A = this chain, B = another copy of it.
């Protein structure tokens, strides 16, 4: 892919965000892109290739949101990073494809040429017809029941830290009482201490905190929270006031 981009757009600057997304894990790719992309300068062109449905009837798409571009398959991998207002185009113009297009590697034959064309001044509408909608990943739920807010683990990072669906507001205010946080792991139910950062607890202890992406996260100091609790994507996390 890098060779294709540099052959078509010799002045393009290439930046690797991550090669650590597990194979075929569209959701993990979508989370990684949504965390990183907002930090890049407007006008950046982001390519995301987590594409188990490559070569099927699934469309290849180009999205413009917030002044930047997103290129990838229409399987939801672009959906968390691109919030409304956004515009979507199907990629099918000949100049945006490298013929013959391999049915198993659109990254090389469609997404890389599209990014190169955008980088050299083409407008997004040249790529193909506009689309009304794209595949959206379900935003994991946040449910409120009485005094309890329930969410789930949406991502486990390389350190074994758990990123949850619960936004910072969930834990921002607990007037008149302390927060009680519960994680329903395969190894049992755990109650991490709520704090600011890892060193607020002893080595080996579990801590819940507002992570750098603005979500509630759970970590184990000097270890892996995922392994300790038997937690994975979908594991239930609850916050209640201990008042």
Please tell me if the beta carbons of B15 and A6 are within 8 angstroms of each other in the complex.
yes
Interface positions, chain A 9-35, Cβ under 8 Å from B, are 10, 14-17, 23-24
Mostly helix, strand, loop or mixed at chain A's interface?
Answer: loop
Q: Complex Cα distance A89/B233, Å?
A: 41
Does A96 count as interface, using CB distance less than 8 angstroms?
no
Does A83 count as interface, using CB distance less than 8 angstroms?
no
Residue of B whose beta carbon sits closest to that of A55: B197
Please tell me if the beta carbons of B102 and A211 are within 8 angstroms of each other in the complex.
yes
State which of B6, B53, B105, B200 has its C-beta within 8 Å of the C-beta of A41: B6
Please tell me if the beta carbons of B23 and A212 are within 8 angstroms of each other in the complex.
no
Q: Complex Cα distance A202/B65, Å?
A: 35
CB distance from A144 to the nearest CB of B (A): 26
Given contacts A15-B14, A103-B209, A211-B102, contact A108 B199 (CB under 8 A): no
Please tell me if the beta carbons of B3 and A36 are within 8 angstroms of each other in the complex.
yes
Q: Mark A200-211, 1 if CB is under 8 A from B, else 0.
A: 100000000101
State which of B14, B15, B55, B159 has its C-beta within 8 Å of the C-beta of A198: B55
Please tell me if the beta carbons of A196 and B55 are within 8 angstroms of each other in the complex.
yes
Chain B residues with CB under 8 A of A36 = 3
Chain B residues with CB under 8 A of A44 = 3
Chain B residues with CB under 8 A of A56 = 197-200
State which of B38, B102, B211 has its C-beta within 8 Å of the C-beta of A104: B211
Q: Complex Cα distance A217/B24, Å?
A: 18
Please tell me if the beta carbons of B198 and A23 are within 8 angstroms of each other in the complex.
no
Does A81 count as interface, using CB distance less than 8 angstroms?
no
Please tell me if the beta carbons of B159 and A54 are within 8 angstroms of each other in the complex.
no
Q: Complex Cα distance A222/B24, Å?
A: 7
Pairs of residues from A and B, 10 with the lowest C-beta to C-beta distance, nearest first: A55-B197, A3-B39, A105-B212, A56-B199, A102-B212, A3-B40, A103-B197, A103-B196, A7-B41, A23-B159
10 A-B residue pairs with Cβ-Cβ distance under 8 Å, sorted by A, are: A3-B44, A4-B39, A6-B40, A7-B40, A14-B15, A52-B199, A53-B198, A58-B199, A102-B212, A103-B197
Listed in ascending order, the chain A residues whose CB lies under 8 Å from chain B are 2-4, 6-7, 10, 14-17, 23-24, 36-41, 44, 52-56, 58, 102-105, 108-109, 158-159, 196-200, 209, 211-212, 217, 219, 221-222
